[in-house]
Amino acid sequence: MNREVSDMNILDSFCEKFCNVVKKHMDYVVVSGFVAIASGRIRGTEDIDMIIPKISREKFIKLHEELVENGFQCMQSDNPEEIHDLYLKEKTSVRYTYKNRPVPEMEVAFSKDILDGYQIKTKTKLPITGLDIWFSSINMNIAFKEEYLKSGKDLEDARHLRIVFSDMVDEKEIEAIKEMIRKLRL
């Protein structure tokens, strides 16, 4: 990807560094607010949301150890077995940050239903972001923000995505995802 490091802000470099470790171990997908921010939405956020497949404790320990080697710390615990068993396995997300810096943070959660699985399956790269990372699809993000999250900020994010990616917006797919959300989450 043709890009200068100076083209990246603090959130971009944090996210790409984190994803570069995770991708060596498993699939992942970055979802929600950061998709809009990486796509030019001018607002702040403290956290980036990531979904990973449900993995074994052993596999998670290897991931955690490499994250720590790369300067990341988990805010909940430094014990990977505890992070896996007491948080992720129990459907509670955990937050990773750089050591001694509480923000930005990567909020990591296991995939919890077929909707999350679909997000991972339909992951996409978005060249306009300048980032070489996997995002959940534009249609998925619009559907979640309009049907599930619905705050003022989320509706503005959806509007931003609809304009920036107007050529990728597929109303039929958005409606199908909204239907899945209504069945599984509401």
Partner 1 sequence: MNATRDKTHMEFVENWAKKFRESPAECKKIQNEFINALFEKNANFLKRLAAQPGGPEKIIRLYRIKNVKAYEELLGIENP
Tokens of residue 127, six digits = 């060249």
Q: Judged by CB under 8 A, does residue 93 bind partner 1? A: no
Contact 72, 99 (CB under 8 A): yes
Which of 52, 104, 115, 139 contacts partner 1 by CB under 8 A? Answer: 104
How far is Cα 62 from Cα 64, in angstroms, rounded to an integer?
6
Residue 8 binding partner 1, by CB under 8 A? yes
Per-residue binding string, partner 1, 9-48, x by CB under 8 A, is xxxx------------------------x-xxxx-x----
Q: Is residue 145 part of the contact set for partner 1 (CB under 8 A)?
A: no
164 binds partner 1 (CB under 8 A): yes
Q: How many residues does the chain have?
A: 186
- Token pair of 5 as six digits: 């490091």
**CB of 10: closest distance to partner 1 in angstroms?**
5
Cβ neighbours of 9 (radius 10 Å): 12
**Interactions with partner 1, residue window 111-130 (CB under 8 A):** 128, 130
Sheet of strand 94-98: strand arrangement = 29-31, 47-52, 105-110, 94-98, 72-74
Strand pairing category for 72-74 and 47-52: unpaired
Give backbone dihedrals phi and psi of 103, rounded to 5 degrees, phi first.
-140, 150
Please select the residue that binds partner 1; options are 1, 5, 69, 152, rule is CB under 8 A: 152
Binding residues (CB under 8 A) for partner 1: these are 7-12, 37, 39-42, 44, 73-78, 97, 99-104, 128, 130, 152, 156, 159-160, 163-164, 166
